[in-house]
Chain A
């Protein structure tokens, strides 16, 4: 029997079809469900009203992250400190009550393993290759970095998964984004994904699942792959995928929720079999030469507004599409930028190193490398470093990175989403400009009136110590 060559996406999809309807819609089994406090309360409420239970609490993991303040959570005596914002407190309390009520594992606010759901999942070995993973959060795409088919869902779907462990879905088209060659000095995974989004556009991946291929991703660490896959949604794709390989297995082995013994060996054999078959066809292919990628950043209010750090603010008239011209004009007015200004001349007020895109240990190491022995510039009003989880924080402290940041004038905070979306007290004040390692530069995302430039961790540190958007290559290798 000859089997049609299939892509990684198609293999994972086929392994999860519970039922196929005549119109092509499939009932897909969900292997892993991550839950946070913002998009779950109404789903639990609905279960309660309908007298329903959670079908597989063992496949569900709840962690609070969005609303948690990043200031200390306990006093010296170990007592929990109250959360001032009453509505945040209420959402957090709802999750803390719902998780045990429905028998779901819960990593609480003061647990050492607490962190951003998308950092915690891979770190705990809960996110595994070849699994289907959902969460009521669009950056669930992140887990594609370990070779999982992972995507965000709405609250009714959260309820559907809690009750049935399945979802009704239409199969997506496939897009290959292949990056080959050698990345230049100072070019990080964040620069790669910013470059990709600049190339395909914020809507370029709509209707597709992206598979990232080529030696650049094969040679990338898991932290880097998670950064890349995380921002698939900024390119319009619901999910991103990077085939699991020895790097993935080495990363996952021994993690608390990862398989062990015989099961581990079986799992690895199956994970290997998922790689895209030779000759399998993608619906769309984008090829990028690694040498074309520079340290990059955004200038506007869409993640596709990307320029190399050596570039300048574009003239809206330089875009062919009239609607893009109009959007660029609005963006520049909001961002307070003039066409033609060199990016490196733009002064910044705030620095945010964190978010599910860039808050893992490697990100903190890269930023600390640049900050080491330097000082946050006087014009910078606030520079925050928010580790992605308690475990990342602990590891960083063991390596002395916290000292590097604190001595340079950064604030070293407790884990959470923080200034990525400003649902907790960490906000960029109106009109201020932030070099941020997060994933969205939308109007008001980091607080009403906030101006965001998306950058890599090393570039954020470079902006902090120079007080402007800076080319990290000028600071690397050179001692302060």
Chain B
């Protein structure tokens, strides 16, 4: 995974609450065999609305999405995170997320920033015409107008994002412990080796 320290640029001021994973990526895209290319199906139902933000050229390739409460609720499909990464989104700002989505986001290199509703409202306003900056080193979101909002994040998750560490890589670094466990369990329960 690419390490992320800062995400800067335009932010799509979506603002809606309860955006579920069916909205992020509809079920008929689940038959895919790769993580790539899902961006074309992302937010399909919203894109069907005339004049929607996702088709507005000024937000083309925007790296940030701003949403309302409970972002990513519904089915656990990891395709939601893959679809957003494929669109180029690497940070989301919202007052809250579903647990599964925020876990999937971090696993796939998306920063899920939690800010109170009033901060989100201000950012929605600014994002209409100006870029914003999510800084993971300082845990702040800033605008060109002196706004500075601090957020907190689980230190393990933050380290993973900053270091571009994937969980698989971290566990593989514990290889000796896994091997030791296998030797011991294999001696106690030899029938496990299939």
List CB contacts (< 8 Å) of B135-189 with chain A: 156, 166-169, 171-172, 174, 177-178, 181-182, 185, 188-189
Is A259 an interface residue, CB under 8 A from the partner? yes
Closest to A85 in B: B31
How far, in Å, is B57 (CB) from chain A's closest CB?
31
Asked if B78 and A155 sit within 8 Å, CB to CB, the answer is yes
In the complex, how many angstroms separate the beta carbon of A417 from the nearest chain B beta carbon? Answer: 14
Beyond A42-B33, A263-B190, is A159–B178 a contact (Cβ under 8 Å)? Answer: no
Which residues of the other chain, B, contact A59 by a CB distance below 8 angstroms? 192-194
State whether the Cβ of A253 lies closer than 8 Å to any Cβ in chain B: no
Known contacts A58-B194, A126-B194; A38 and B30 CB within 8 A of each other: yes
Task: Closest B residue to A165 by CB, please name it.
Answer: B178
Which of B30, B35, B177, B194 makes the CB contact (< 8 A) with A46?
B35
With contact pairs A18-B177, A91-B33 given, residues A164 and B194 touching in the complex (Cβ less than 8 Å): no
**Which residues of chain A (203-234) have a CB below 8 Å from chain B?**
none
B43 at the interface (CB under 8 A from A): no
Q: Quick one: which of A51-77 are within 8 Å of B by CB?
A: 52, 55, 58-59, 67
Q: How far is the CA of A384 from the CA of B76 in the complex (A)?
A: 30
Closest to B36 in A: A45
A402 in contact (CB, < 8 A): no
Q: Is the CB of B171 within 8 A of A29?
A: no
Contacting residues, chain B, for A266 (C-beta < 8 A): 189-191
Quick one: CB contact mask for A144-176 with B, threshold 8 Å, 1 for yes? Answer: 000000000011100110011110100000000
Q: Which residue of A lies closest to B34 (CB)?
A: A45
Provide the A131-154 mask, 1 if CB < 8 A to any CB of B, else 0: 100000000000000000000001
* Interfacial residues of chain B within 90-121, with CB under 8 A of chain A in the complex: 100, 104, 107-108
Contacts of B52 in A (CB 8 A): none
Q: Counting chain B CB atoms within 10 Å of each CB, which of A16, A19, A67, A88 scores highest? A: A19
Q: Is the CB of B167 within 8 A of A160?
A: yes
Whether A270 sits at the interface, judged by CB under 8 Å, is yes
Knowing A41-B33, A154-B76, A154-B104, say if A27 contacts B174 (CB, 8 Å): yes
Interface range on chain B: under 10, 10 to 19, 20 to 34, or 35 or more? 20 to 34
* Selected contact of B191 from candidates A55, A155, A165, A259, CB within 8 Å: A259
Evaluate contact between A87 and B32: CB separation under 8 angstroms.
Answer: yes
A29 vs B188: C-alpha distance in the bound complex, in angstroms?
Answer: 14
Q: Decide: B31 and A164 in contact? CB cutoff 8 A.
A: no
Residues of chain B contacted by A58 (CB below 8 angstroms): 193-194
Contact A168 B35 (CB under 8 A): no
Interface string of A239-277 (1 = CB under 8 A from B): 000000000000000000101000110110010000000
B191 touches A164 (CB 8 A): no
Residues of B within 8 A of A164 (CB): 168, 171-172, 178
Question: CB-CB < 8 A to B188: which residues of A?
Answer: 270
B178:A166 contact, CB within 8 angstroms: yes
Q: Enumerate chain B residues within 8 angstroms of A50, measured Cβ to Cβ.
A: 166, 168-169
Q: In whole Å, how far is A209's beta carbon from the nearest beta carbon of chain B?
A: 18
Residue of B nearest to A259 (CB): B191
Asked if B191 contacts A160 (CB within 8 A), the reply is no
Cβ of B59 within 8 Å of any chain A Cβ, yes or no, is no
Among B31, B32, B33, B177, max chain A CB count under 10 A is at B33
User: A126 — nearest CB in chain B belongs to which residue?
Assistant: B194
Contact indicator B181/A18 (Cβ below 8 Å):
yes
Shortest Cβ distance from B190 into A: residue: A263
Chain B 43-54 interface mask (CB, 8 Å, partner A; 1/0): 000000000000
Further 8 A-B residue pairs, CB within 8 A, beyond A27-B178, A67-B31: A27-B177, A29-B185, A42-B33, A52-B172, A59-B194, A94-B33, A126-B194, A163-B168
Q: Name A's B-contacting residues (CB within 8 A).
A: 15-16, 18-19, 23, 27, 29, 31-32, 38, 41-42, 45-46, 50, 52, 55, 58-59, 67, 87-88, 90-91, 94, 126, 128, 130-131, 154-156, 159-160, 163-166, 168, 257, 259, 263-264, 266-267, 270, 423
Question: Can you report 25 residue pairs joining A to B where beta carbons are below 8 Å apart?
Answer: A15-B185, A18-B181, A19-B174, A23-B156, A29-B182, A32-B194, A41-B34, A42-B34, A42-B35, A42-B82, A45-B33, A45-B35, A46-B168, A58-B193, A90-B31, A128-B191, A128-B192, A154-B78, A155-B78, A163-B172, A164-B178, A166-B171, A259-B191, A263-B191, A266-B189
